[in-house]
């Protein structure tokens, strides 16, 4: 008998709003509150409010914390300035991706690692093992935080009405401690939607009060509660990878077109270094497959696992697909053979239940906000 899904501190709020709930990585999470399209469009045009409390927070503290993370992860974490964040990955010895992460440097010897919900335990176990021998303590802080996100063009104005924190000075991929509506929070300018926005890490006991304060502050600014369904279409339009779809242990960062996150210049060894050096050399010659965007010429929607075809040959596989509310037609990300990866390549289609539907190959992302 499988255990019941965990519930976030905002569970009662979601149910009161009539959310459709779903089991996601062992958590009962809101899929949508009403129309997925309306929620998606709110983030693109006004603002959306998300509960992301299923994400996994892991804290490292101590004089050896930076060195431990430099060894455990592929990024140069020791070079990260206090108050800044970095997108990085934790890989196996063979270079396979265990998870993609965001690391926040909260102090000289204080870091917070944010893992995907489905991989949080694996990341915790790996960080604990890899930190042995370093002067650092690894702490599971998944119960210590609730995580709310305000995303969209109106999010800075909404948040500014509730905090004295210097939001104008807060750069993308940076975080600072502050008070929002009387609640102590780590305010981070990060997100997974392709829009400007903020993620707010707070104590679970404060989550409901903060949600209500944000809802009230955003009432006239079009702030809309948003579920995981529109979060997926938003990140897909923005060309952002999802672990389990575009990223897996079968792929290295170079396979995923994200070799830039691997920092060989940092001091000392790190897990996966030799395998990733080989992967980098191969990618420099020619990657066998590349991650591309596909835009439908018809109306049928591709799904993960569908074959990408050229004539009678299978030349790739869809990793994510959905109708795009912004583009008004179905889109997909797919790994395809390099010979078919150039934008504008003709004759590429997706096999949707036996029918070869024509698709246009495009460069990612599908959508980029105006700054």
* pLDDT score of 4 more than 90: no
Q: What is the pLDDT of residues 171-185, one digit of tens each?
A: 999 999 999 999 999
Distance set, CA 208 to CA 10, 14, 215 (Å): 6, 10, 11
Give the pLDDT score at 1: 63
Q: What is the pLDDT of residues 310-360, one digit of tens each?
A: 999 999 999 999 999 999 999 999 999 999 999 999 899 999 999 999 999
**Torsion sign across C-alpha atoms 138, 114, 363, 249:** positive
Residue showing tokens 């830039």 = 260
Residue 287 pLDDT class (50, 70, 90 cuts): confident
* pLDDT score of 298 more than 70: yes
* All domains of the chain in start order, with CATH: 6-53+145-237 (3.30.1360.120), 288-371 (2.40.30.110)
Q: What is the pLDDT of residues 224-245, one digit of tens each?
A: 999 999 999 999 999 999 999 9
Give the pLDDT score at 3: 79
Q: pTM, whole model, 2 decimals? A: 0.97
What's the mean pLDDT when you consider all of the chain? Answer: 97
């Amino acid at each position: 008998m499988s255990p019941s899904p965990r519930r976030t501190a905002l569970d009662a709020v979601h149910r009161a709003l009539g959310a459709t709930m779903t089991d996601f990585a062992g958590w009962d999470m809101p899929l949508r509150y009403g129309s997925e399209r309306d929620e998606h469009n709110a983030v693109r045009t006004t603002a959306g409010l998300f509960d992301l409390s299923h994400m996994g927070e892991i804290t490292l503290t101590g004089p050896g914390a930076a060195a431990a993370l430099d060894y455990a992860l592929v990024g140069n974490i020791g070079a990260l300035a206090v108050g800044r964040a970095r997108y990085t990955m934790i890989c196996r010895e063979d270079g396979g991706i265990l998870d993609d992460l965001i690391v926040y440097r909260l102090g000289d010897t204080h870091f917070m690692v944010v893992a995907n919900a489905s991989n949080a335990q694996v990341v915790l176990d790996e960080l604990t093992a890899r930190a042995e021998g370093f002067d650092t303590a690894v702490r599971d802080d998944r119960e210590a935080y609730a995580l709310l996100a305000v995303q969209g063009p109106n999010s800075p104005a909404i948040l500014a009405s509730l905090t004295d924190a210097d939001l104008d000075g807060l750069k993308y991929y940076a975080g600072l401690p502050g008070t929002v509506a009387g609640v102590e929070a780590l305010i981070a300018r990060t997100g997974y939607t392709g829009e400007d926005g903020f993620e707010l890490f707070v104590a679970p006991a404060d989550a409901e009060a903060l949600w209500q304060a944000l809802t009230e502050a955003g009432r006239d600014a079009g702030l809309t509660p948003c579920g995981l369904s529109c979060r997926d279409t938003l990140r897909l339009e923005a060309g952002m990878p999802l672990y389990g779809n575009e990223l897996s242990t079968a792929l290295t960062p170079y396979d995923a077109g994200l070799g830039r996150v691997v920092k060989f210049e940092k001091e000392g060894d790190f897990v996966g270094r030799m395998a990733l050096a080989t992967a980098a050399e191969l990618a420099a010659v020619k990657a066998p497959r590349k991650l591309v965007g596909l835009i439908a010429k018809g109306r049928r929607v591709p799904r993960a696992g569908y074959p990408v075809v050229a004539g009678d040959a299978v030349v790739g596989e869809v990793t994510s697909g959905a109708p795009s509310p912004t583009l008004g037609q179905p889109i997909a990300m797919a790994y395809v053979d390099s010979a078919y990866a150039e934008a504008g390549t003709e004759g590429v289609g997706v096999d949707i239940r036996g029918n070869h539907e024509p698709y246009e190959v495009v460069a990612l992302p599908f959508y980029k906000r105006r700054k």
